[in-house]
Chains A and B, each alone.
Chain A
Amino acid sequence: MSETVTLAVNGIAVEMPVGSLVSAAILKTGTYAFRRSVTGEPRGPLCGMGICFECRVTIDGEQHCRSCQTVCRNGMDVRTDG
């Protein structure tokens, strides 16, 4: 078994293998709307490689973090805005 880390997505604890990205952790909790677009549409990850900015969320209080470019850490507090 590989090691895991535990983080919180909208207050829900989720356990991920070490090295996982926050975008995968969010989807694993069943949350698919990461944010709302400028006209209020739900949006989730598209490119998975840091280009589209659709997966941005608030991590430990910092807004607009691209969850697909951020590695999960123990105790991380992730908030979606979907």
Chain B
Amino acid sequence: MGDLLVVGAGPAGMAAAWRAAQNGLRVCVVDDNPAAGGQIWRGGPPEAQVWFERIRSVDVEMINGARVFEQLRTGTLLAETASGVSELSYKSLVLATGARERFLPFPGWTLPNVMGAGGLQALVKTGLPIEGKRIVVAGSGPLLLAVAAYLCGHAANVLMIAEQAPAMQLARFAVGLFSKRMQAFELKRQLKDVPYRSSCWVSEAHGTEKLEAVTLVRGQKRWQVDCDYLACGFHLVPNVELAELLGCVLERGSVKVDDFQQTTVANVYSAGETTGIGGLELSLVEGEIAGLAAAGRHDAARELFAVRDKQRKFAELLNRTFALRDELKHLPTPQTIVCRCEDVTLERLQRHTSWRAAKLQTRCGMGPCQGRICGGAVEFLFGWRAESVRPPVLPVRIDSLIRK
């Protein structure tokens, strides 16, 4: 048994593990991806090297490709690996499970080659050649800019970026970003030939067996653009399923934490996007605080509060800027699929008044993704939130369950 178990090897998890190990704890990090770094540092980009170096400089056990799916008892989690099931015991726990993209349904969004913005970027990072491909990047959030710049850097033909947020809000955000660091300049340089349209979104994806074109809407204007890929995501939603399983209280869809990143469950901490969408810098400082607090170094943790406060202000600005506009609720037609696992259409959901009723009657949210994709959409469209999480929090092999 280790002292500290960290779930998630993205920036927050790495920061927590580093600080805790530096202060004498025996630390184990478990992550479901084949390699550490999370989504943002997938493939170990140069800017992340300082953190990879820090992790290597301390004694941390890293378990990759393992999915935590259940709590065996207090202080022990179960994770499924390629070869079996591992029991992971701990005295303290840091949940750094990150976030996923929010997807909203519109006609044609289930066609092959319509992907998340981060989804397409992940594919390119892991070997998909993209040179010369015509790509529309759409949805909402700063991720769209980062993804478009990345795709341009890999010689893709990025046709445009469609951001649903209005120009006024974006202007305020740009000021915030500029005062934050020079990152904005760099993005602007990389994207110099790509049109960035505010108050603009995809109303329909066209094609039969795969994507062929999209219809874009901006004010009264509607037009069609032929493309090979649509990279479309509407900002991010925290991954809170494991925290909920452990009984952690949520607040506005994120894990509630105190000043030391401790959740409402004793010895369980949480850091990064899981506690609210705030970006890389906030994730890192929250991770450091959680790691220090778990190691009993509350004095050192307290010294980082000012940095975190500053980053939280930026996060608030971020979330205000990319708030979703109501028009997007009217994109799906009655026949548009909302739950992709069970192919549940909008009209079938409209007959119900709660997530629970819809689930029981239509199987919405009961497929392999367990509502991870349609949940964010259903919350936006109907205001319904899932009421409970039950183990296993991810589909696992039957022998993993029998083993218990």
Known interface pairs A27-B123, A50-B33, A51-B100; 19 further A-B residue pairs with C-beta atoms within 8 A, sorted by A's residue number: A21-B127, A24-B127, A32-B112, A34-B112, A39-B343, A41-B337, A42-B210, A43-B112, A44-B210, A46-B116, A47-B119, A48-B118, A48-B122, A48-B123, A51-B373, A52-B369, A53-B367, A53-B368, A69-B65
Given contacts A21-B126, A52-B340, are A44 and B39 in contact (CB under 8 A)? no
Given contacts A41-B343, A51-B369, are A46 and B103 in contact (CB under 8 A)? yes
State whether the Cβ of B34 lies closer than 8 Å to any Cβ in chain A. yes
Least distance between B377 CB and chain A CB atoms (Å)? 12
Contact among A38, A41, A46, A64 with B115 in the assembled complex (CB-CB below 8 Å): A46
Instruction: Give the residues from 334 to 378 in chain B that come closer than 8 angstroms, CB to CB, to chain A.
Output: 337, 340-343, 367-369, 372-373
Q: Please name all residues of chain B whose beta carbon is closer than 8 Å to the beta carbon of A49 when the two chains form the complex.
A: 33, 39, 100, 118-119, 122
Q: Please name all residues of chain B whose beta carbon is closer than 8 Å to the beta carbon of A48 when the two chains form the complex.
A: 115-116, 118-123
State whether the Cβ of B92 lies closer than 8 Å to any Cβ in chain A. no
Q: Please name all residues of chain B whose beta carbon is closer than 8 Å to the beta carbon of A52 when the two chains form the complex.
A: 340, 369, 372-373
Using a Cβ–Cβ cut-off of 8 Å, how many residues does chain B contribute to the interface with A?
A: 41
Instruction: Give the residues from 1 to 46 in chain A that come closer than 8 angstroms, CB to CB, to chain B.
Output: 16-17, 19-21, 23-25, 27-28, 32-34, 37-39, 41-46
State whether the Cβ of A68 lies closer than 8 Å to any Cβ in chain B. yes
Q: Please name all residues of chain A whose beta carbon is closer than 8 Å to the beta carbon of B113 when the two chains form the complex.
A: 32, 44
Q: Please name all residues of chain B whose beta carbon is closer than 8 Å to the beta carbon of A70 when the two chains form the complex.
A: 34
State whether the Cβ of B326 lies closer than 8 Å to any Cβ in chain A. no
Are the C-beta atoms of B210 and A46 separated by less than 8 Å? no
State whether the Cβ of A54 lies closer than 8 Å to any Cβ in chain B. yes
Least distance between A38 CB and chain B CB atoms (Å)? 5
> In the complex, A28→B130 CA distance in Å?
9
Q: Can you name 26 A-B pairs with beta carbons within 8 Å?
A: A17-B127, A20-B126, A21-B123, A23-B126, A24-B124, A25-B127, A27-B123, A28-B128, A28-B129, A38-B341, A38-B367, A42-B111, A42-B210, A46-B114, A47-B116, A47-B118, A47-B119, A48-B120, A49-B122, A50-B67, A51-B369, A52-B340, A52-B369, A53-B395, A56-B368, A71-B34
State whether the Cβ of A57 lies closer than 8 Å to any Cβ in chain B. no
**Max chain B C-beta neighbours (<10 A), residue from A24, A69, A82:** A24
Interface residues of A (CB under 8 A from B): 16-17, 19-21, 23-25, 27-28, 32-34, 37-39, 41-54, 56, 64, 68-72, 82
Q: Please name all residues of chain B whose beta carbon is closer than 8 Å to the beta carbon of A64 when the two chains form the complex.
A: 368
Q: Please name all residues of chain B whose beta carbon is closer than 8 Å to the beta carbon of A53 when the two chains form the complex.
A: 341, 367-369, 395
Instruction: Give the residues from 85 to 133 in chain B that come closer than 8 angstroms, CB to CB, to chain A.
Output: 100-101, 103, 110-116, 118-124, 126-129
Are the C-beta atoms of A68 and B372 separated by less than 8 Å? no
Least distance between B298 CB and chain A CB atoms (Å)? 34
State whether the Cβ of B70 lies closer than 8 Å to any Cβ in chain A. no
